[in-house]
Protein backbone atom coordinates (compact mmCIF):
# COMPACT_ATOMS: atom_id res chain seq x y z
CA UNK A 1 0.00 0.00 0.00
CA UNK A 2 1.21 3.53 -0.78
CA UNK A 3 1.37 6.31 1.82
CA UNK A 4 2.37 9.96 1.90
CA UNK A 5 5.09 10.96 4.35
CA UNK A 6 3.88 13.46 6.96
CA UNK A 7 5.30 15.10 10.05
CA UNK A 8 3.56 14.36 13.34
CA UNK A 9 3.84 17.66 15.16
CA UNK A 10 1.89 17.37 18.40
CA UNK A 11 -0.44 15.41 20.61
CA UNK A 12 -3.97 16.78 20.27
CA UNK A 13 -5.93 14.54 22.67
CA UNK A 14 -4.60 11.73 24.84
CA UNK A 15 -7.92 11.13 26.62
CA UNK A 16 -8.95 8.73 23.83
CA UNK A 17 -7.38 5.47 22.74
CA UNK A 18 -5.60 5.62 20.49
CA UNK A 19 -4.45 9.20 21.03
CA UNK A 20 -5.15 11.90 18.44
CA UNK A 21 -2.15 13.64 16.88
CA UNK A 22 -1.67 16.54 14.50
CA UNK A 23 0.09 15.78 11.22
CA UNK A 24 1.31 18.18 8.57
CA UNK A 25 1.66 17.40 4.88
CA UNK A 26 3.54 19.82 2.63
CA UNK A 27 2.40 19.43 -0.98
CA UNK A 28 4.41 19.98 -4.17
CA UNK A 29 3.54 23.71 -4.16
CA UNK A 30 4.71 24.14 -0.58
CA UNK A 31 1.18 24.44 0.83
CA UNK A 32 0.77 22.94 4.30
CA UNK A 33 -2.23 20.67 4.98
CA UNK A 34 -3.20 19.82 8.57
CA UNK A 35 -4.67 16.52 9.71
CA UNK A 36 -5.87 15.37 13.12
CA UNK A 37 -5.84 11.59 13.16
CA UNK A 38 -5.51 8.58 15.42
CA UNK A 39 -1.86 7.94 16.23
CA UNK A 40 -2.17 4.27 15.25
CA UNK A 41 -3.32 5.25 11.74
CA UNK A 42 -0.32 7.50 11.00
CA UNK A 43 2.45 5.71 12.91
CA UNK A 44 3.33 2.08 13.53
CA UNK A 45 4.92 3.02 16.85
CA UNK A 46 3.70 5.12 19.75
CA UNK A 47 5.19 8.60 19.67
CA UNK A 48 6.38 9.96 23.00
CA UNK A 49 5.36 13.55 23.76
CA UNK A 50 9.04 14.50 23.92
CA UNK A 51 9.68 13.03 20.46
CA UNK A 52 7.80 15.64 18.41
CA UNK A 53 8.16 16.24 15.55
CA UNK A 54 8.09 12.61 14.42
CA UNK A 55 7.76 10.86 11.08
CA UNK A 56 4.42 9.47 10.05
CA UNK A 57 2.46 8.43 6.97
CA UNK A 58 -1.07 8.73 5.65
CA UNK A 59 -2.21 5.84 3.48
CA UNK A 60 -3.35 6.86 0.02
CA UNK A 61 -4.29 5.73 -3.44
CA UNK A 62 -2.28 7.11 -6.37
CA UNK A 63 -4.64 8.66 -8.92
CA UNK A 64 -2.09 9.90 -11.47
CA UNK A 65 1.61 10.50 -12.03
CA UNK A 66 3.48 12.93 -14.30
CA UNK A 67 6.61 15.03 -14.71
CA UNK A 68 6.10 18.79 -14.54
CA UNK A 69 7.83 21.52 -16.59
CA UNK A 70 10.56 21.73 -13.93
CA UNK A 71 11.34 18.01 -14.32
CA UNK A 72 9.83 17.03 -10.96
CA UNK A 73 8.03 13.70 -10.66
CA UNK A 74 4.58 14.46 -9.24
CA UNK A 75 1.75 12.29 -7.96
CA UNK A 76 -1.90 13.08 -7.29
CA UNK A 77 -2.92 10.96 -4.32
CA UNK A 78 -6.28 10.48 -2.60
CA UNK A 79 -6.30 9.99 1.17
CA UNK A 80 -9.96 8.94 1.29
CA UNK A 81 -8.83 5.49 0.20
CA UNK A 82 -8.23 3.24 2.04
CA UNK A 83 -8.98 4.82 5.46
CA UNK A 84 -11.25 7.79 4.69
CA UNK A 85 -8.79 10.45 5.87
CA UNK A 86 -9.35 14.17 5.14
CA UNK A 87 -7.43 17.28 6.13
CA UNK A 88 -8.97 19.61 8.70
CA UNK A 89 -10.02 21.79 5.73
CA UNK A 90 -11.82 18.83 4.13
CA UNK A 91 -9.19 18.10 1.47
CA UNK A 92 -8.50 14.55 0.37
CA UNK A 93 -6.68 14.86 -2.98
CA UNK A 94 -3.12 16.20 -2.93
CA UNK A 95 -0.34 16.73 -5.46
CA UNK A 96 2.93 15.69 -3.86
CA UNK A 97 6.46 14.95 -5.01
CA UNK A 98 6.86 11.27 -5.91
CA UNK A 99 9.69 11.08 -3.36
CA UNK A 100 7.15 11.78 -0.60
CA UNK A 101 5.47 8.41 -1.21
CA UNK A 102 6.31 5.40 0.94
CA UNK A 103 5.44 1.72 0.64
CA UNK A 104 3.77 0.50 3.85
The per-residue pLDDT for range 57-86, each reduced to its tens digit, is: 999 999 999 999 999 999 999 999 999 999
State the Cα–Cα distance between residues 83 and 87, nearest whole angstrom.
13
- Output the average pLDDT for the chain: 95
- Residue 51: pLDDT band (50, 70, 90) is confident
- Residue 26: pLDDT band (50, 70, 90) is very high
Backbone angles phi, psi at 35, to 5 degrees: -130, 145
Cis peptide preceding 18, ω within 30 of 0:
yes
Answer whether 37's CB lies under 8 Å from 24's CB: no
Residue 49 has pLDDT above 70, yes or no: no
Amino acid sequence: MKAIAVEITQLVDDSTYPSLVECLLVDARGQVHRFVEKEAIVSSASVAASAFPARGVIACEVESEWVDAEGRSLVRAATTRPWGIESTAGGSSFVVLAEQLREV
